[in-house]
Amino acid sequence: MASFAISTPLRVALANVRANGSSPRNRTAALRPRAALGVGQRLGTTQSAASTPFGGCGRRLRARVLRSGDNATRDITTMMGFCNVPKPAGLYDPAMDKDACGVGFIADTSNRDTRKTVHDALGMLVRMTHRGACGCEVNTGDGAGILLSLPHEFFWRVAAKEAGIQNLPSPGNYAVGMFFMPVDLALRERVRLSVEATALSLGMPVLGWRRVPVNNASLGDSAKATEPIIEQVFFEENDDNENMRFELQCYVLRKIISADVDKMMGIPRNTKNTEFYACSLSSKTIVYKGQLMPAQVSEYFLDLQHDLFATHLALVHSRFSTNTFPSWDRAQPMRVLGHNGEINTLRGNKNWFKAREGMMKCVQMGLDEKTLKRFLPIVDETTSDSGAFDACLELLIHCGRSLPEAMMMLIPEAWQSDDQMDDKRRAFYEYSSALVEPWDGPALVTFTDGDGIGATLDRNGLRPGRYYVTKGGVVVMASEVGVVDIKPEDIKEKGRLRPGNIFYVDLKNGRVLPDMEMKQEICGKRRYRQWIDRQKVTLEDIVKADAEAGGPLPSAPCVDSKRVGMDKLLAPMRAAGYTVESLDMLLAPMLASGSDPLGSMGNDAPLAVISERPKLVYEYFKQLFAQVTNPPIDPIREAIVTSLKCMIGPEGDFSTTKEAQVHRLSLETPLLDIPEMEAIKRTSHRDWKTYTVDATFPVAEGRAGLSKALERLREEADAAVKEGYSLVVLSDRKMCAERVAIPSLLAVGTTHAHLVATMQRTHLGLLVESADAREVHHFCTLVGYGADGICPYLAIEALCTLQEDGRTGAKTFSRPELVQRYFKASGDGMLKVMAKMGISTLASYKGAQIFECLGLHDDVVTQCFPGTASRIMGVKMDMLAMDSFKMHQTAFPTRLFPEGSPEDTALPNPGDYHYRSGEDKEVHMNDPRAIAFLQEAVRSNDQSAWNNYSNLTRELTEQVALRGMLKFKETRSVDIDQVESAADIVKRFTTGAMSYGSISLEAHSTLARAMNQIGGRSNTGEGGEEPRRLAAQEDGSRNPERSAIKQVASGRFGVTSHYLTNADEIQIKMAQGAKPGEGGELPGHKVIGRIAATRKATEGVGLISPPPHHDIYSIEDLAQLIYDLKNTNPAANVSVKLVSEAGVGGIASGV
């Protein structure tokens, strides 16, 4: 059972959302739910014949198919092709699907093809069944498969005859494709003709087709309903193509076959083909996979049972999809890898590779421009994270990199902060960082190209991997030990994979290559350090080369020179949405403490889309978090694996390895001081030049001016690319009484998205000079949507002025020290945010869009933030423009205020954090009036006061939360006699999980007493519970202060056996709900006396719950914890607390 941190408005079809609010702004008028499924409606229902590309051949209502080599028949009803994953609907989005898997391989270093290798590999797969999953049907799996070296003896003696091939070429001179084909005979024939025509055009004629014999008797109905016809195709090598090795010919052939079949079937680019899929096409390896349970693989594929089917390498994979829609094509292994884990930065990785297609020439592959266009895209938008990674790894291999080298580029070690790493390795990784960003996330990746086989772990080592090497030369690697029986006396070597290390078996030379030896060879092939020293551009180089460096810095726009102190910055700060709290609660504490300030007890202010006050665009975005299927990381204890360092500026051709590739600007942090930004804007260093785009628009154009301005930004970015500029700066410094600043996040989002879509993003660097960016969340969203660098010039000037006014504490700093301190606090905050999603490097985080929108219309999302989850609709561009105008009007009012009045001399103070009374102030759920009514009602048992409290709270909820906008539908009444009594209903009541320490002992124990008295349940929260409250009373009855629900966040937060055995329910806290991601931070000064003793903590040391480095690395670990807790207290229920975020439904189904 999974309980959620907030109520469930987003899981409900919001059919009754208030359409017309009382506010003149009426933000909520645009809110609407996504299309929801009606009762009884099925996901993926049958299309009419007229709606299919072939007038009915794409969907089968009824058919009977005889399998070759097997007498079994099957019925196909309402067929959907081999993929039954529906399109996004309601709250479902297949992009949110997550995987957790078991992987492994066996290889014989002597290259002996044996049946034993096949048998042991299939046994390994079965022994990792617990790492895979099945659906509600125990005989329908999430996917399993095996990748093997081509079994030539079997193909020569058996398969070739079935395919009608008289003389099968010798090994290495023919290739085999393993294809999922349409069930419809007419369509299948058309696909065959298309494949043969493509192969002939590339000089690789088809030798024959073979139906792969299968036995589907053990499959569940779901798997049978989408079961494809599986066929093998034999191709002959093109001997005339001397410039292209055979494996490269196979790769190009497979890519173009897929593109040509899609075209023949009328399937648009980046739309999933559910009728045809190439599992593999190679002269060295072949993949047998499907929507199967591990034990079904050998039962289903009859080839694997044949005595002549032998191999010297086998890579297996068992899939655990934490969603309810597995499919045949999503099963693994892929073409070159098996992947256990998640790619947290997938959206960014896909976008960057799409952008790189505009620079790719693929000279190493010998492709002409026409063939290259047929060959693209590299990454299919509809594929899984594993499929996308597989596609990029394949490309690197076929562009001339070795398999281990390609893995080092995509999943590098944590090199930036490792002082012990040798310089050659460091230089290789630094060079590679100029070509490609890391694919970040917890991962154990096994890989093979037929000549070698290996495995690697992510830089954090957050997936298990163990290996054995026998004296007979057999190598076994898997997610766990015990998957293959090996006698102890036969073991030559055993060990585990370490973070960032590669375990690699060189099958050509018959040996296991030590990680260090292999990497030294790769890193020593080229003079990477010399290339970097000659080509890399640093920020210091640009500043030193600036002829005007040291001159006066530009002041903020529209500064009032007649005023002094903070008063002179009032106009630009008002226009940028600054408030008194922005200075006193955010900026000043960052300078005083050198760290990102923390709040407490959550945020009770309205969502941006509901608020009556103008809001910055940043406030419509909520960050996503790692939970269950992958872990967050600890940016403090694991600082060595984190980095804000990044290469920016024009990239070269990703498919080549040249010195010029590293001619990029290296930034230690994305935050830039004003002198640095000015030097960048003026630079001509080493032929770099910068184009500055005015990110403002005329007041006279009104609200429509914002959309026009965004279009102009896109056009000017195009022009900058065409004219050869290296950098583009989006600057709002021209903001004045006549010009309104474009919200920085809109400017960055639309420019980056446009350049990605037009495959131009890698031609230049994108920086933003912003007045409205000032805090960690702002910086994270800007980088997350593509900004390479940020100059928060107004925040810097405000900090300097705050210090001049004596508002930043007793200690003073020089200007460089002040900026450095602000940037350090902001950078640490950014690392913390990244770490909550399990992301280690800024290079991976940039453009990864690790956010969801809450309250933006699809028109805005499509134009500026494509690919971002947006569960409800919301404000359109004109409403965002109106907010910008409102803030602009406070800075440049049409009516002058009396000199010296608060309106003339102070920033607005609407009370975004602290409650403020009066007009134009922010609403808060914790309203003093409501609290007063509640106190009066409780103290005097006053029904009237209670009614006042109830009514006011209801009104406040409507103004603050989405759930307050839900209305009851009018329906038929129910007889009161059929309704449970109030006494029975309240037994289902539970309190929020508020820990002892976050609230007082009196409040904590009173909540427990109240719940016990009415028969409900109180929740301890993560802070433990005093042992005296667990002890029974003298008469043997339960202690009235005992909480029924005991929360488990970490072993060090008061969790003992005594604590667990005194629970009716144990709640595992995976992530913080009230303050998502921050965790229940208890400041050190509160960790004292009985609070510290109850939590089993050290006095004075601050606590975060759950800890950033959680004990739960995967869903397997969660299953183990649930098992352990049930053993501790078999009578207790176990629940899991998750953060309510986009995609949580998929995670919850896995739980």
| 387 in Cβ contact with 353 (< 8 Å) | no
Q: How far apart are CA 1002 and CA 1090, in angstroms?
A: 13
Strand partners, 869: 852
Q: Which two three-digit tokens encode residue 743?
A: 């919200």
DSSP for residue 376: -
Exposed/middle/buried for residue 940 (C-beta within 10 Å: 0-12, 13-18, 19+): exposed
CA 993 from chain centre, in angstroms, equals 28
Q: How far apart are CA 754 and CA 761, in angstroms?
A: 8
Please say whether the dihedral angle defined by the alpha carbons of residues 1086, 1089, 1092 and 1095, taken in this order, is positive or negative: negative
Residues with a known catalytic role: 101
Question: Which residues in 1041-1069 are b (16+ Cβ under 10 Å) and which e?
Answer: bbbbbbbbbbeebbbeeebbebbebbbbb
Pairing of strands 851-853, 621-623: antiparallel
Those residues with Cβ within 8 angstroms of residue 955's Cβ, 6 or more apart along the chain or in another chain = none
Q: Give which of 623, 476, 510 is closest to 104, Cα–Cα.
A: 476
Instruction: Collapse the DSSP code of 176 into the 3-class scheme (helix H, G, I; strand E, B; otherwise coil) and give the result.
Output: strand
Strand partners, 643: 841
Q: How far apart are CA 241 and CA 990, in angstroms?
A: 72
Give the amino acid at 884.
S
Question: Which residues in 373-404 are b (16+ Cβ under 10 Å) and which e?
Answer: eebbbbbbebbbbbbbbbbbbbbbbbbebbbb
| 285 in Cβ contact with 150 (< 8 Å) | yes
Say whether the peptide bond before residue 333 is cis (omega within 30 degrees of 0): yes
Phi, psi of 905 (to 5 degrees): -115, 0
The torsion angle over the Cα atoms of residues 944, 946, 949 and 954, rounded to 10 degrees, is -100
Cα distances (angstroms) measured from residue 145 to each of 129, 131, 1015, 1138: 12, 13, 51, 32
Q: Which two three-digit tokens encode residue 251?
A: 């790769």
Q: Give which of 143, 89, 1145 is closest to 627, Cα–Cα.
A: 1145
Half-sphere exposure (CA, 13 Å, Cβ side) for 487? 4
Q: How far apart are CA 1123 and CA 1134, in angstroms?
A: 10
Three-state secondary structure readout of 889-953 = HHHCCCCCCCCCCHHHHCCCCCCCCCCCCCCCCCCCCCCHHHHHHHHHHHHHCCHHHHHHHHHHH
Q: Where are the alpha helices (DSSP H) in 765-864?
A: 776-784, 793-804, 815-836, 842-845, 858-864
CA 558 from chain centre, in angstroms, equals 40
First to last CA, the chain: 8
| 68 in Cβ contact with 162 (< 8 Å) | yes
Those residues with Cβ within 8 angstroms of residue 780's Cβ, 6 or more apart along the chain or in another chain = 623, 830, 833, 834, 845
Q: How far apart are CA 266 and CA 704, in angstroms?
A: 38
| 92 in Cβ contact with 74 (< 8 Å) | no
Q: Which two three-digit tokens encode residue 1031?
A: 């002890």
